[in-house]
Amino acid sequence: MSALLQAVEHSAALVTALAGARRPAIALVLGSGWHGVADRVQDAVDVAYRDLPAFPAVGVAGHAGTLRLGRIGGVEVAVLSGRQHTYETGQADAMKGAIRTLAALGVRVLLTTNAAGSLDPSMRPGSLMVLCDHLNMTQRTPLHGEAGVDRFVDLRDAYDPALRAVARGVAAECDVTLHEGVYAWMLGPQFETPAEIRMLRLLGAHAVGMSTVPETILARHAGLRVLALSMFTNLGCGLEDEALSHSHTLAVAQQGAATALRFIEALLPALAREL
């Protein structure tokens, strides 16, 4: 048995023992600016990533490194407050153990969130976007070292069309602006140059960020359905005259948090009905 499989089995057993009767079918990965979602969890049980051998260490401000189990809007959920980014270690597979633990627990849908830069001036900071596709600009894979034919994952519908339709319907009902577009994954941690932003726009991207794509690939490899949401915190470098920083990202995300939370609370019951 591989070390990763042992870590996943151990982590799943620990979570199951603590979860009691909780059996979430939906898991959320919370990116920068989305962590207020964890505060909405009722009847919560927390497990620190450091106590789960399959989970990564997190070292980015605003990422708590906690798995929280409970209910939001009456829906059983597993909420991952934080992720390890590829730029922290150079490895794209940091979330592999966490995603496989979720699958072992019976999770069927991964709802992953991020803070992103908008590449379209009409998509303003504070608004949301549902991902319909992505550009893996790093050309790194979290499946390096995997064996067998299952490593050749089909990403035609990486972002589940039926779940995207649910998200669009909920946004309309809640009067929440929800854009839809292509997310470009850049390695970071440096922000993009104006020339890189021009390149990404020419390639058809609508948003740019430093996360989400590895978890999507891992989730699809594990058989999970994926829905991904971006919160725009800035326009891409050169589209407006503003200096970019992580503190700026967190500050703008905080301003848009109320809308994002309202949307998530309405979205989760609709996703549960879809399942």
| Catalytic-role residue among 25, 44, 64, 88 | 88
Catalytic entry in 211, 228, 231, 260: 211
Q: Of residues 115, 116, 222, 231, which has the active-site annotation?
A: 115
Q: Which of 11, 12, 19, 32 is catalytic?
A: 32
Of 196, 246, 270, 274, the catalytic one is: 246
Q: Which one from 25, 87, 199, 265 is the annotated catalytic residue? A: 87
Q: Which of 210, 222, 228, 253 is catalytic?
A: 210
Q: How far apart are CA 30 and CA 63, in angstroms?
A: 8
Say whether 134 is catalytic.
Answer: no
- 85 a catalytic residue: yes
210 tagged catalytic: yes
Of these residues, 35, 63, 206, 221, which one is catalytic?
63
Q: Is 211 a catalytic residue?
A: yes
**123 counts as catalytic:** no
Query: Is 221 among the catalytic positions?
Result: no
Residue in 98, 127, 234, 260 annotated catalytic: 234
Instruction: Give catalytic residues, as residue numbers.
Output: 32, 63, 85, 87-88, 115, 210-211, 234, 246
